[in-house]
Structure 1
Amino acid sequence: MLLDRSFRRTLIARLLLSAGPSTAAALLVAAPGCGGENEAAADTRCFDWDDELGACLSREQALEEFRTIHPLCASEEEIVSVESDATPRDGACCYEVIAEPAGPCAVGRPFSLEGQRRTAAPQPAEAGWLARGKDAGLGGRQPSLGDLTDEERETLAEGWLRSALEEHASVASFARFALDLMALGAPSSLVEAAHIAALDEVGHARVGFSLASAYRGEPVGPAALPMPRGVPVAADLVALARAAAEEGCIGETVAALLAAEQRARAEDPAVRAALEAIADDEARHAELAWLTVAWAIGAGGEPVRGAVADVFEAAALSLRRPRPAEAGPPRGRAAALAAHGHLGGSTLRELSCAALAQVVLPCARALGLWSPGDLDSTRAPGVS
């Protein structure tokens, strides 16, 4: 499944501030990721390519890129060989390939304690966690409910409520992140950005609760967030970098791309306004995570780099594990839900996988944070 090309290319460029133009160019690969959709025939795969970059990649180079990006997700197929030289086509370099079936695929910044994600319970709410006015992220609008069935409204209310509770928990996650940074001597720019990100998440939560309330027909918000008396901070730079890689470089980057995809498919003006703001904010949060990892490696050296590499390696391995097939809603109902920003579980899974395959792991490789090494070593046990 291909992610929105414009947003993907822009996000890659933002994340690769330290990469040279040749490195960045190689990452503008439109690999199908979790499979299914392609821009050409089923046996053809194309790289985005600019004429200023020179000649297309050779067969061997193209296969390396496909093997690096495509199988990490292993949802539908694996590219096993490139059978032709490149054919330039509409700003892309296209190749005839042989693909074999592979196995299925992996998302924001959670608030976790003792390995468990924490979110508040929902409860009837007054206006405290609802969006207010034109500055609240809904463009001064409310979603249109006229053509929705009761079942569709219930699904949308549940989906936006779940999202709102996760965004609410992210406020706490960024607050703790700011403490981690200060405890480990991070520069003020990172600390400042962490606090700004926490405020962004307050806005996202308000928008989510407002949309959930609109679809539900009554106001809903968060109860108290479960919190121990003492919230631990990162013990050292290794712990900080590992968390930033997991929750930010992976989680927030994927979240930004998912929000952009939801916005692209949404039709309701209020929902589109909300998702546009969320996608932009999550992209900045992703940048913060990658900058934090770079600072931590600069300060802590190889032990930190190794811990970060382990995070990306685990992500690559996890995407090779087969997942059960999921039945989606009927086509008409799926379209109605997508118009209001709700995508089914299988679609989100495929998009998440594509985000990892097309953006996260290639960026990690380009920045020297992770190397796939021998392709066979990235296979999970029992996956062929």
Structure 2
Amino acid sequence: MTTIREVSELAGVSQATVSRVINGTNRVSHDKKLNVEKAISQLGYRTRSRTLMHASKTARAGCVGIVVPELGGPFYSSILNTIDTQLRRLGYHVLISAGANTEEGQKESLEFLLNHRVDALILHTHQLSDDYLIDLQESELPIVIINRFIQEMNTSCINIDNEQGGKLVTEYLLKMGHENIVFVAGPLDKEDARARLQGYRNALVDAGIAYDDTLVAEAAFTEESGASAMRKVLKRKVPFTAVFASNDYMALGVREVLVESGYSIPEQVSLVGFDDIDFARYFTPKLTTVNYPIEQMCLEAVQLIIQKLNKKNCDVNFKLSPSLRVRNSVKNLNAYR
């Protein structure tokens, strides 16, 4: 069976442009529309596309499509559960596709949802380019992007102030007397990871402390990568009294390596995470971390998508503020001076 991807490749346009032609929008140039129509005819896609176009103009499916990188873990399960619960209360069902952490996988997920005539899309994606998503938004299909900001789509993005979160943690550690602070960053090709690192740097600059590359190690938002990053830092033989891991999974990996290496927490090394996922409070000691307002982000996303579906003015909180959850994993060095 011919797919939208095959049509887009033959026509030399994006899948989003093919979708716009299928759905009969006017926001496609004449030349691109001709190329798509030729590809549809050549590949035998015309009959199915016309049926979809007719259906999309006559009735809603009562379904919102959601794309996430994966289905496992408390972070994505919380997102999906919150969105599903809220949309069901409003009379909508959800259709979920996990596109993996690859551009191709997430494009395939979008194609799948478009072929199933969803009324709108809620996307959690860092792999699809800004241009691709901007192009997709030009269709008549309402779109909301969560945990990401694109300036050209500023009324379609629900984001969290990750830079402020990184700064909150670093300022707290500085206040507690820590100056040599290891930062275990997430993958720096992702916007949220870069923002948390920038918050860390900003707090150091504000305190008059020079940024030191040897105290920073990049990881992948997983327990294993956090452990690997901590081992790298230990091999550098640099002095430190605290570690800021930019998510709680990495903090768990960091903790394991520190304990294996003979460090006690927080007596010898303080540890802070980010996200405040459920198990953070069951750390030994209980983990100080940043509360990531996942539920609020999802509630705002649902409200925004409903407003878009009903063609109402967008009136939501587009940028949410994190907060610090202070527990028992940080030692106050000022008490010993």
- Identify whether the pair has TM-score above 0.5, normalized to the shorter chain: no
Q: Highest CA radius of gyration, 1 or 2?
A: 2
Larger RCO (alpha carbons 8 Å, 6+ apart): 1
Greater per-residue strand proportion: 2
Query: TM-score interval w.r.t. the shorter chain?
Result: under 0.3
Output the TM-score relative to the length of structure 2. Answer: 0.27
Output the TM-score relative to the length of structure 1. Answer: 0.25
